[in-house]
Amino acid sequence: MNKNLIILALIFLILFTVFKTYNYIESTEETIVVGYLPSNHHSALFVADAEKIFEKEGIKVHLVPFRAGPELIAAANRGKIDIGYCGISPVTIAINKGISIKAIASVNQDGSGIVVQKNSNFSDISDLKGKTIAIPEKGSVQDVLLTDLLYKNNISIDEVKIIKSEVPFMPKSLIFNKSSAFIAWEPYVSIARIEGDGDVFMYSDDIWKDHPCCVVIAREEFIQEEPESIRRFLKAHIAATNFINSNKNETALIISRKLGTNVDVEREGLKHLDFIAVPSEEFILNSMKFIELQKQLGYLNRSTNETEIFNLEYLPDKT
């Protein structure tokens, strides 16, 4: 128990120290400030940085971590970051509210999961009734997937207790009975399974196969003022995504160093993601389906069309 408390204390210290840095970063003409979440979903960013792909494209970047998508988007809205890697759900919610950002590329499909307490013997969705389930953030991709899963299985949201939690804390929270289950992004699903904190109940592609997850966003002002920087950044993003899809073991090592996670955890986590830099027609179609789902669930107050969400003209094969 003392060991677990020490681990939690160290995680808290790291989170407190790292996640406050964005308050002190100022964008400059020479450097592109890029926000991200501590997730292997954003491996393309980590690979492009580690493999010096940005340098090859003649651009400088400064990477800034955030706890969750809404914080990243709020920073973009204040002009604190230029580009960000973020789940599509908070992006569409922000655009629905009039925030001037656009999704300029895709990042990944799938990559999340529901984890339950070790040896809890959950065998059916109905076993979630009466349980406390942790989510990263209200309106996150994970929250939308969970809410839709419950709805499709005739479980009212009032029949479970939903709590918000910092994702890095989620695996250990199961041990301390802070929650009976959680839904989160990788690598924390794999961390819980491999380190023995919980059992994987369901991966997100079991909820919705090939569901859209993360996208690259940019401030509209930055797009208008720095189109060449956007083009070069996206070339690096595509090259890094190609690297990931051809070099999973090297990618796992890069992510492990970046996030301070076990490389075996990252190898496992990468198995549950599908990295796509240039959105396919299916990705766009599923994104629009996701938006309709958000509207049905009350996360959006109006319909949103494709051109309001995406600006893909700066992708290399779109020019």
Delimit the domains of the chain by residue range: 17-109+212-318, 112-207
Q: Among 93, 176, 167, 98, which Cα is nearest to 134's?
A: 167
Q: Using pLDDT thresholds of 50, 70 and 90, give the confidence band for residue 21.
A: very low
What mean pLDDT comes out for the span 14-22?
Answer: 46
Q: Over the stretch 173-196, which tens digit does the pLDDT of each residue have?
A: 999 999 999 999 999 999 999 999
**Phi and psi at residue 34, in whole multiples of 5°?**
-120, 125
CATH fold match for the domains 17-109+212-318 and 112-207: yes
Q: Using pLDDT thresholds of 50, 70 and 90, give the confidence band for residue 18.
A: very low
- Whether 319 shows a pLDDT value over 70: the answer reads no
Fold of 17-109+212-318: D-Maltodextrin-Binding Protein; domain 2 (3.40.190)
Q: Using CA atoms, how far apart are residues 42 and 34, in angstroms rounded to an integer?
A: 11
What's the pLDDT at 316? 87
- Whether 62 shows a pLDDT value over 60: the answer reads yes
Judged by average pLDDT, the poorest of 127-131, 175-179, 302-306 is 302-306
Domain spanning 112-207, CATH architecture? 3-Layer(aba) Sandwich (3.40)
Q: Using pLDDT thresholds of 50, 70 and 90, give the confidence band for residue 29.
A: low
Tokens of 164: 């918000």
Q: Over the stretch 105-122, which tens digit does the pLDDT of each residue have?
A: 999 999 999 999 999 989
**C-alpha 80: how far from chain center:** 19
